[in-house]
Amino acid sequence: MNKMKAAMIGFLPRDGSDPYAVLESYAKMGYSAFEGADMLLREGDPAENLKKVQSFGMKPLAVHLGINTDVDVADVLERAKKTGVKRAANFCGCIGGYRFGGGTPPTYDDLMAECQRFDKAAKELAKEGISVTFHNHDAEFKHTFNGVPAFFLMVANTEYLKFEVDCGWVKFGGYDPVTVINQLGDRIGALHIKDYIEGPTVDQPTPNGGVNKNMPRFTTPGTGCLDLKGCLEAGLKAGMEYAIVEQDFQYNLTQAETLQAAYLNMKETGFVE
Protein backbone atom coordinates (compact mmCIF):
# COMPACT_ATOMS: atom_id res chain seq x y z
CA MET A 1 0.00 0.00 0.00
CA ASN A 2 1.28 3.43 -0.91
CA LYS A 3 1.54 5.88 1.97
CA MET A 4 1.52 9.64 2.38
CA LYS A 5 4.55 11.57 3.53
CA ALA A 6 4.57 13.80 6.60
CA ALA A 7 4.70 17.56 6.11
CA MET A 8 4.10 20.59 8.32
CA ILE A 9 3.12 24.23 8.28
CA GLY A 10 4.10 26.77 10.91
CA PHE A 11 6.22 25.43 13.78
CA LEU A 12 9.05 27.81 12.85
CA PRO A 13 10.79 30.02 15.42
CA ARG A 14 9.80 33.61 16.10
CA ASP A 15 12.71 34.30 18.43
CA GLY A 16 15.38 34.85 15.77
CA SER A 17 16.55 31.24 15.71
CA ASP A 18 17.76 29.85 12.41
CA PRO A 19 14.64 28.52 10.62
CA TYR A 20 16.76 26.27 8.43
CA ALA A 21 18.30 24.56 11.43
CA VAL A 22 14.82 24.03 12.83
CA LEU A 23 13.59 22.60 9.53
CA GLU A 24 16.55 20.25 9.48
CA SER A 25 15.63 19.01 12.96
CA TYR A 26 12.10 18.31 11.72
CA ALA A 27 13.49 16.39 8.77
CA LYS A 28 15.32 14.15 11.23
CA MET A 29 11.97 13.41 12.91
CA GLY A 30 10.52 12.09 9.67
CA TYR A 31 9.08 15.17 7.95
CA SER A 32 9.93 15.62 4.28
CA ALA A 33 8.10 18.81 3.30
CA PHE A 34 6.86 22.15 4.60
CA GLU A 35 4.19 24.57 3.46
CA GLY A 36 5.28 28.18 3.35
CA ALA A 37 7.86 28.37 0.59
CA ASP A 38 7.97 32.17 0.77
CA MET A 39 10.43 31.87 3.68
CA LEU A 40 13.05 30.97 1.06
CA LEU A 41 12.67 34.47 -0.39
CA ARG A 42 13.17 36.47 2.80
CA GLU A 43 16.95 36.50 3.15
CA GLY A 44 19.78 35.41 0.91
CA ASP A 45 19.63 33.79 -2.50
CA PRO A 46 16.41 31.77 -3.05
CA ALA A 47 18.19 29.20 -5.19
CA GLU A 48 20.79 28.58 -2.49
CA ASN A 49 18.09 28.46 0.19
CA LEU A 50 16.19 25.87 -1.83
CA LYS A 51 19.33 23.77 -2.19
CA LYS A 52 19.87 24.04 1.56
CA VAL A 53 16.47 22.61 2.50
CA GLN A 54 16.73 19.95 -0.18
CA SER A 55 20.13 18.92 1.16
CA PHE A 56 18.56 17.68 4.40
CA GLY A 57 15.52 16.11 2.75
CA MET A 58 12.93 18.89 2.93
CA LYS A 59 10.76 20.11 0.07
CA PRO A 60 8.69 23.34 -0.07
CA LEU A 61 5.09 22.79 -1.11
CA ALA A 62 3.37 26.11 -1.79
CA VAL A 63 3.70 29.87 -1.92
CA HIS A 64 1.08 32.23 -0.54
CA LEU A 65 -1.60 33.35 -2.98
CA GLY A 66 -2.69 36.44 -1.06
CA ILE A 67 -5.63 37.28 1.19
CA ASN A 68 -8.95 38.65 -0.02
CA THR A 69 -7.50 40.81 -2.79
CA ASP A 70 -7.03 40.65 -6.54
CA VAL A 71 -4.31 38.11 -7.29
CA ASP A 72 -1.06 39.28 -8.87
CA VAL A 73 -0.60 36.22 -11.06
CA ALA A 74 2.81 37.32 -12.34
CA ASP A 75 4.10 37.73 -8.79
CA VAL A 76 2.73 34.36 -7.69
CA LEU A 77 4.29 32.67 -10.71
CA GLU A 78 7.66 34.33 -10.10
CA ARG A 79 7.73 33.21 -6.46
CA ALA A 80 6.62 29.71 -7.37
CA LYS A 81 9.41 29.38 -9.92
CA LYS A 82 12.04 30.70 -7.52
CA THR A 83 11.02 28.25 -4.81
CA GLY A 84 10.34 25.28 -7.09
CA VAL A 85 6.73 24.71 -6.00
CA LYS A 86 3.66 23.77 -8.03
CA ARG A 87 0.97 25.22 -5.78
CA ALA A 88 -0.21 28.57 -4.45
CA ALA A 89 -2.41 28.59 -1.33
CA ASN A 90 -4.91 31.09 -0.03
CA PHE A 91 -5.27 30.77 3.74
CA CYS A 92 -8.12 33.18 4.44
CA GLY A 93 -10.90 34.62 2.31
CA CYS A 94 -13.67 37.09 3.08
CA ILE A 95 -15.57 34.68 5.34
CA GLY A 96 -12.52 33.81 7.41
CA GLY A 97 -11.49 37.45 7.46
CA TYR A 98 -14.79 38.35 9.07
CA ARG A 99 -14.53 35.45 11.53
CA PHE A 100 -11.10 36.50 12.76
CA GLY A 101 -11.05 40.23 12.06
CA GLY A 102 -14.62 41.40 12.47
CA GLY A 103 -15.99 44.26 10.43
CA THR A 104 -18.99 44.00 8.14
CA PRO A 105 -20.31 40.49 7.48
CA PRO A 106 -19.58 39.46 3.88
CA THR A 107 -22.57 39.22 1.58
CA TYR A 108 -23.39 36.54 -0.95
CA ASP A 109 -22.18 38.91 -3.66
CA ASP A 110 -18.89 39.37 -1.80
CA LEU A 111 -18.39 35.61 -1.76
CA MET A 112 -19.27 35.23 -5.43
CA ALA A 113 -16.84 38.01 -6.36
CA GLU A 114 -14.14 36.23 -4.38
CA CYS A 115 -14.90 32.94 -6.11
CA GLN A 116 -14.53 34.71 -9.45
CA ARG A 117 -11.16 36.20 -8.45
CA PHE A 118 -9.81 32.91 -7.14
CA ASP A 119 -11.03 30.90 -10.12
CA LYS A 120 -9.62 33.41 -12.61
CA ALA A 121 -6.22 33.19 -10.92
CA ALA A 122 -6.44 29.40 -10.73
CA LYS A 123 -7.22 29.16 -14.44
CA GLU A 124 -4.31 31.41 -15.40
CA LEU A 125 -1.82 29.70 -13.09
CA ALA A 126 -2.93 26.24 -14.23
CA LYS A 127 -1.56 27.12 -17.66
CA GLU A 128 1.85 27.35 -15.98
CA GLY A 129 1.43 24.10 -14.04
CA ILE A 130 0.56 25.82 -10.75
CA SER A 131 -2.56 24.76 -8.84
CA VAL A 132 -4.41 27.11 -6.50
CA THR A 133 -5.88 25.88 -3.21
CA PHE A 134 -8.22 27.52 -0.71
CA HIS A 135 -7.74 26.65 2.96
CA ASN A 136 -10.91 26.50 5.03
CA HIS A 137 -11.59 27.41 8.63
CA ASP A 138 -14.74 26.66 10.61
CA ALA A 139 -16.36 29.86 9.34
CA GLU A 140 -16.87 28.61 5.80
CA PHE A 141 -19.08 25.86 7.23
CA LYS A 142 -20.88 27.93 9.87
CA HIS A 143 -21.50 31.00 7.69
CA THR A 144 -24.45 30.23 5.42
CA PHE A 145 -26.48 31.87 2.68
CA ASN A 146 -30.08 30.64 2.42
CA GLY A 147 -29.02 27.70 4.56
CA VAL A 148 -26.07 26.68 2.37
CA PRO A 149 -22.58 26.84 3.95
CA ALA A 150 -20.15 29.16 2.18
CA PHE A 151 -17.71 26.30 1.62
CA PHE A 152 -20.11 24.35 -0.57
CA LEU A 153 -21.06 27.51 -2.46
CA MET A 154 -17.38 28.05 -3.21
CA VAL A 155 -17.05 24.51 -4.56
CA ALA A 156 -20.16 24.90 -6.70
CA ASN A 157 -19.23 28.30 -8.08
CA THR A 158 -15.63 27.62 -9.07
CA GLU A 159 -14.15 25.28 -11.64
CA TYR A 160 -10.37 25.53 -11.40
CA LEU A 161 -9.94 26.31 -7.70
CA LYS A 162 -8.98 23.37 -5.49
CA PHE A 163 -9.43 23.04 -1.75
CA GLU A 164 -6.93 22.54 1.03
CA VAL A 165 -9.06 20.66 3.55
CA ASP A 166 -8.20 21.50 7.15
CA CYS A 167 -9.72 18.49 8.90
CA GLY A 168 -9.80 20.03 12.37
CA TRP A 169 -11.56 23.19 11.25
CA VAL A 170 -14.05 21.17 9.20
CA LYS A 171 -15.01 19.16 12.28
CA PHE A 172 -15.16 22.27 14.46
CA GLY A 173 -17.43 23.75 11.80
CA GLY A 174 -19.88 20.91 12.36
CA TYR A 175 -19.09 18.62 9.44
CA ASP A 176 -17.34 15.29 9.02
CA PRO A 177 -13.96 15.85 7.34
CA VAL A 178 -13.87 12.30 5.94
CA THR A 179 -17.17 12.92 4.16
CA VAL A 180 -15.99 16.31 2.87
CA ILE A 181 -12.77 14.80 1.51
CA ASN A 182 -14.71 12.05 -0.24
CA GLN A 183 -17.24 14.51 -1.66
CA LEU A 184 -14.58 16.80 -3.10
CA GLY A 185 -13.05 14.10 -5.27
CA ASP A 186 -10.45 15.65 -7.57
CA ARG A 187 -11.20 19.13 -6.19
CA ILE A 188 -9.10 18.45 -3.09
CA GLY A 189 -5.61 19.84 -3.54
CA ALA A 190 -4.00 19.41 -0.11
CA LEU A 191 -4.70 17.94 3.33
CA HIS A 192 -4.16 19.65 6.69
CA ILE A 193 -4.16 17.45 9.77
CA LYS A 194 -5.30 19.37 12.86
CA ASP A 195 -6.92 18.19 16.08
CA TYR A 196 -8.66 19.69 19.10
CA ILE A 197 -10.22 18.69 22.39
CA GLU A 198 -14.00 18.90 22.55
CA GLY A 199 -15.32 21.20 25.24
CA PRO A 200 -15.36 24.93 26.03
CA THR A 201 -13.76 27.23 23.47
CA VAL A 202 -10.90 29.58 24.34
CA ASP A 203 -9.96 33.15 23.51
CA GLN A 204 -6.43 32.99 22.18
CA PRO A 205 -4.10 36.05 22.11
CA THR A 206 -2.34 36.61 18.80
CA PRO A 207 1.28 37.73 18.25
CA ASN A 208 0.11 41.16 17.02
CA GLY A 209 -1.74 41.91 20.26
CA GLY A 210 -5.21 40.86 19.14
CA VAL A 211 -7.45 38.04 20.32
CA ASN A 212 -9.00 35.19 18.34
CA LYS A 213 -12.28 34.39 20.05
CA ASN A 214 -14.15 31.09 20.33
CA MET A 215 -11.21 28.98 19.28
CA PRO A 216 -11.05 25.22 19.71
CA ARG A 217 -8.61 23.94 22.31
CA PHE A 218 -6.03 22.59 19.85
CA THR A 219 -4.03 19.48 20.63
CA THR A 220 -1.50 17.20 18.96
CA PRO A 221 -3.10 15.26 16.07
CA GLY A 222 -4.19 11.90 17.36
CA THR A 223 -4.89 13.06 20.92
CA GLY A 224 -8.20 14.87 20.41
CA CYS A 225 -11.57 14.27 18.79
CA LEU A 226 -10.41 14.05 15.16
CA ASP A 227 -10.80 10.72 13.38
CA LEU A 228 -7.13 10.76 12.46
CA LYS A 229 -7.06 7.35 10.81
CA GLY A 230 -10.21 8.07 8.82
CA CYS A 231 -8.92 11.42 7.57
CA LEU A 232 -5.58 9.99 6.54
CA GLU A 233 -7.18 7.04 4.78
CA ALA A 234 -9.55 9.35 2.89
CA GLY A 235 -6.68 11.68 1.98
CA LEU A 236 -4.61 8.81 0.67
CA LYS A 237 -7.53 7.51 -1.41
CA ALA A 238 -7.99 11.02 -2.80
CA GLY A 239 -4.41 10.97 -4.05
CA MET A 240 -2.81 13.27 -1.50
CA GLU A 241 0.96 12.93 -1.35
CA TYR A 242 1.39 14.74 1.99
CA ALA A 243 -0.36 14.87 5.34
CA ILE A 244 0.39 18.42 6.49
CA VAL A 245 0.41 18.84 10.27
CA GLU A 246 -0.74 22.16 11.70
CA GLN A 247 -1.53 23.32 15.23
CA ASP A 248 -2.49 26.96 15.59
CA PHE A 249 -1.50 27.23 19.26
CA GLN A 250 0.60 25.17 21.65
CA TYR A 251 -0.37 24.27 25.19
CA ASN A 252 1.44 21.52 27.10
CA LEU A 253 3.99 20.50 24.46
CA THR A 254 6.65 22.46 22.65
CA GLN A 255 6.45 22.77 18.88
CA ALA A 256 9.09 20.08 18.45
CA GLU A 257 7.34 17.73 20.87
CA THR A 258 4.03 18.28 19.08
CA LEU A 259 5.53 17.50 15.68
CA GLN A 260 7.29 14.39 16.93
CA ALA A 261 4.14 13.06 18.59
CA ALA A 262 1.99 13.95 15.56
CA TYR A 263 4.35 12.14 13.22
CA LEU A 264 4.36 9.00 15.32
CA ASN A 265 0.58 9.05 15.70
CA MET A 266 0.13 9.40 11.94
CA LYS A 267 2.67 6.69 11.22
CA GLU A 268 0.90 4.37 13.66
CA THR A 269 -2.26 4.51 11.51
CA GLY A 270 -0.37 2.84 8.65
CA PHE A 271 -1.24 5.60 6.18
CA VAL A 272 1.90 7.75 6.60
CA GLU A 273 5.44 6.54 5.96
Q: Which residues contact 47 (CB under 8 A, 6 or more apart)?
A: 82
CB atoms within 10 A of CB 252: 9
Domain region containing 96:
5-269
* pLDDT tens digits, one per residue of 50-103: 999 999 999 999 999 976 567 899 999 999 999 999 999 999 999 999 999 888
H-run or E-run covering 268: helix 255-269
Per-residue pLDDT of the chain (273 residues; tens, 9 = 90+): 699 999 999 999 878 789 999 999 999 999 999 999 999 999 999 999 999 999 999 999 999 997 656 789 999 999 999 999 999 999 999 999 999 988 899 999 999 999 999 999 999 999 999 999 999 999 999 999 999 999 999 999 999 999 999 999 999 999 999 999 999 999 999 999 999 999 999 998 877 778 888 999 999 999 999 999 999 999 999 999 999 999 998 999 999 999 999 999 999 999 999
Which pLDDT value is given to residue 213? 87
- Contact of 224 with 197, CB cutoff 8 Å: yes
Q: Which residues contact 210 (CB under 8 A, 6 or more apart)?
A: none
Q: Which residues contact 109 (CB under 8 A, 6 or more apart)?
A: none
* 272 residue type, one letter: V
C-alpha separations of 270 from 4, 106, 244, 267 in Å: 9, 42, 16, 6
30 secondary structure, DSSP code: T
**Reported pTM:** 0.96
CATH number of the domain where residue 159 is located? 3.20.20.150
Domain count, the chain: 1
Interatomic CA distance for residues 233 and 171, integer angstroms: 16
According to DSSP, the β-strands at 195-205 and 211-219 are antiparallel
